[in-house]
Structure 1
Amino acid sequence: MSEGIKDNPGLSEAAAQSRGSVLRSRAESYIALSRHDAAIADLTESIALVPDNARAWRLRGESHRVLERYDAALGDFDEALKLEPDSAYALGSRGQTYAAMDRLEEAMEDFEHALTLSPDSLWILEAKADVLADLDRLDEALEEHAKIIALNEGLAYSWMARGDLYQRMHLYAEAIDDYTKALEADPAHVRALSRRGEALRMIDRYEEALTDLNQALEADPENDRAYGSRGAVLSELGDNEAALRDLDRAIELDPEYIWAYRVRGEILQELERHEDAVKDFTQALHLEFGD
């Protein structure tokens, strides 16, 4: 008799297996609905009934990870991997958990192992590329992105992800090319428009940047980052009042948007509104450094 049955003496072995199976299935729907606490409750009961089901441990670990309960997630992924040592999914998810905890070398070990089992898994390749970038192994990260794109050149997200890395590396022309590829794959991709607008701003192509950012905001009127970027562009084009309106809106949407405070402070300083500028710089320092 399993330990789960000992804890639930009213159920037969067959009934425990059946109930555990339905609980796991309901938990998967809860996860799809982002109702992770409900999923965890079902999976906890399922594990009590059927402790040797690796899927239940893995799913509960994933819900804990999404809720940023990283220690609990690691414990569940460890249990899943004891039962199924070659589960690429559990290894990849545990790697994501390690990465979120800034345990980057351990994350890399899990991603490398997972990719020996499932070499074409896009989400694991993407997670590995992110960790390589965080480790400042940027050329290796670009190699991973090239693999991802080669697997599916029609996927806008893959071009976006490499574009973001190029932007991080200050390779703005390359970033613009990748964002353009993302938009060819998905012309309505708002983030690609916003990010391409930002990259164009960085190389002083302000009119083109403004076109992209206008389109991004037409599609998503609550895009705080697009408002911040457009505010900076409008300032460069000499329209500080319109720039301030955009930056006000960006900060209204995200009161912790540090960069927007800094840019707004610089515009206010240029307008000799120094008391207001001091408030913005002070808030930027508080948010970034705790001053």
Structure 2
Amino acid sequence: MSEGIKDEHGLPEAAAQSRASVLRSRAESYIALSRHDAAIADLTESIALAPGSARAWRMRGESHRLTERYEAALTDFDESLKLEPDSAYALGSRGQVYAALGRTEDALADFDHALTLSPDSPWILEAKADALADLDRMDEALEEHAKIIALDEGVPYSWAARGDLYQRMHLYAEAIADYTRALEADPAYVRALSRRGEALRMIDRYEEALTDLDRAIELDPENDRAYGSRGAVHSELGDDEAALRDLDRAIELDPGYVWAYRVRGEILQELERHEEAVADFTRALHLEFGDA
């Protein structure tokens, strides 16, 4: 199309390309702000103006993924990869969509392809580890986490992520060791404090668990999981009043926190407050299984 010819939107080609570029840039900031609907609107117009931009398709796919519109995300990543077949980012993100849809083998294929292009990408390695864990291939998942840690042992997140996998495997001593490494790198790392507190609770080291959970809540007063875990610790230590206070707060922060309803229901049951216990168990069943 020559400079003087207008596209279907009434803009000369150069102007259409320029507008599409600005829309892509604005969408990138919207994504950074988690304003995904605004990003999708900009990217939809951008794609209409300049459908050959792999970046626009990829970015819109990412916004669809983050808002759990998985089929739309797949369509966008497919289009992006037609234009740019060797994009590790698009492959990794499409793999995450496949994983969310339960298509774990397809996810692994995308992750493996992406890692041939970008072998030292921590987020793709972690996504692959998660997929392997979902297939109960735990040893292989641990190998991926070891690769992530080897990239930079000073990154607290990497230790905490492997700690989470150990905790999932009920290997609490190993989990505690990894959370401790994370906290050596960042003593104020709330996630590691909260998760280590939970792991300590699981092996009946309640006082140590309480210390970690107190500190996590001090640093992040809206950490619903830390409140839930601390409530369970208080219950184990025989302080039902403190336990109920923490569980009330956890549920206030996250009304969909199934585990907190179950634990609070058990405490209320032990206190013979059966109507309230029934209400909590009923809520837990509704949230987890859709019971009426």
TM-score range, shorter chain: over 0.9
Q: CA deviation at 1:247?
A: 1.3
The SS at the match of 1:116 is helix
Question: TM-score scaled to structure 2, two decimals?
Answer: 0.94
Question: How many angstroms apart in 2 are the aligned matches of 1:156 and 1:43?
Answer: 35
One-letter code aligned to 2:93: S
Provide the residue aligned with 2:95 in structure 1. Answer: 95
**Alignment match, 1:39:** 39
Residue number in structure 1 paired with 2:67: 67
- Summarize deviations over 1:113-152 as a string: whole Å, max 9, x none: 0001100011111111111111111111110000000001
- CA separation in 2, counterparts of 1:260 and 1:26? 40
Name the TM-score, length of structure 1 as normaliser.
0.95
Cα deviation code 1:65-93 (max 9, x no counterpart): 11111111111111111111111111111
Paired with 2:224 and 2:17, the residues of 1 have a C-alpha distance of: 49
| CA 1:216–1:69: 2 relative to 1, 3 Å | same
What residue identity is the alignment partner of 2:82? K
Matching residue of 1:78: 78
Mapping of residues 108-147 of structure 1, within 5 Å? 108-147=108-147
Alpha-carbon deviation of 1:240?
A: 1.3
Equivalent residue, structure 1, for 2:207: 207
CA distance 1:15–1:275, shift in 2 (3 Å):
closer
Q: 1:219 matched to which residue of 2?
A: 219
Trace 1:257-268 onto structure 2 (pairs within 5 A): 257-268=257-268
Q: CA deviation at 1:15?
A: 2.2
**1:225 positional shift:** 1.0
Q: Aligned-residue CA RMSD in angstroms? A: 1.6
Q: Does 1:237 align with 2:261?
A: no
Task: Tell me, yes or no, if structure 1 residue 271 matches structure 2 residue 271.
Answer: yes
Q: 1:40–1:279: structure 2 CA closer, same or farther, 3 Å change rule?
A: closer
Report deviation, 1:176. 0.4
User: Are 1:7 and 2:8 matched, yes or no?
Assistant: yes
The residue aligned with 2:288 is 288
Structure 1 unaligned spans of 5+: none
Aligned equivalents of 1:206, 1:274: Cα separation in 2: 27
Deviation (angstroms), 1:269: 2.2
Checking the alignment, whether the CA contact within 8 Å between 1:5 and 1:49 is kept in structure 2 is no
Q: How many residues align?
A: 289
Misfit runs of 4+, over 3 Å: none
1:5 CA displacement: 5.7
Match of 2:22 in 1: 22
Task: Quote the offset at 1:274 in angstroms.
Answer: 2.7
Q: Provide the residue aligned with 2:53 in structure 1.
A: 53
Q: Are 2:7 and 2:13, in contact at CA under 8 Å, matched by a contact in 1?
A: no
Determine the C-alpha separation between the residues in 1 that align with 2:130 and 2:277: 36
SS across alignment from 2:221 = coil
Tell which deviates more after alignment, 256-265 or 83-92. 256-265
Partner-residue secondary structure (3-state), 1:7: coil
Residues 1:148 and 2:148 aligned together: yes
Tell whether the 8 Å contact from 1:115 to 1:121 is kept in structure 2 after alignment. yes
Cα separation, 2, equivalents of 1:273 and 1:183: 40
Stretches of structure 2 that go unaligned for 5 or more consecutive residues are: none
Q: Distance in 2 between matches of 1:17 and 1:122?
A: 34
1:186 Cα deviation from its structure 2 partner: 1.4
Describe how 1:176-187 pairs up with structure 2 within 5 A: 176-187=176-187
8 Å CA contact 1:21–1:46 kept in 2: the answer is: yes
Query: Within 2, Cα distance between the matches of 1:217 and 1:202?
Result: 19
Deviates more, 1:136-145 or 1:253-262: 253-262
Cα distance, 1:275–1:36 mapped onto 2, change above 3 Å: closer
Q: Structure 1 stretch 265-274 or stretch 72-81: which is displaced more? A: 265-274
1:184 to partner: Cα distance: 1.2
User: CA 1:15–1:281 in structure 2 vs 1: closer, same or farther (change >3 Å)?
Assistant: closer
How far 1:281 sits from its partner (Å)? 2.2
Q: Deviations over 1:22-59 (max 9, x none)?
A: 22112111211222222222212221222111111111
Structure 1 residues 11, 286: closer, same or farther in 2, change over 3 A?
A: closer
Aligned twin of 1:198 = 198
Moved more, 165-174 or 22-31: 22-31
The separation in 1 between residues aligned to 2:6 and 2:227, in whole angstroms, is: 57
CA apart distance, 1:273:
2.5
Contact 2:7-2:16 at 8 Å conserved across structures: no
- Residue 254 of structure 1 and its aligned partner are, at CA, apart by 1.7
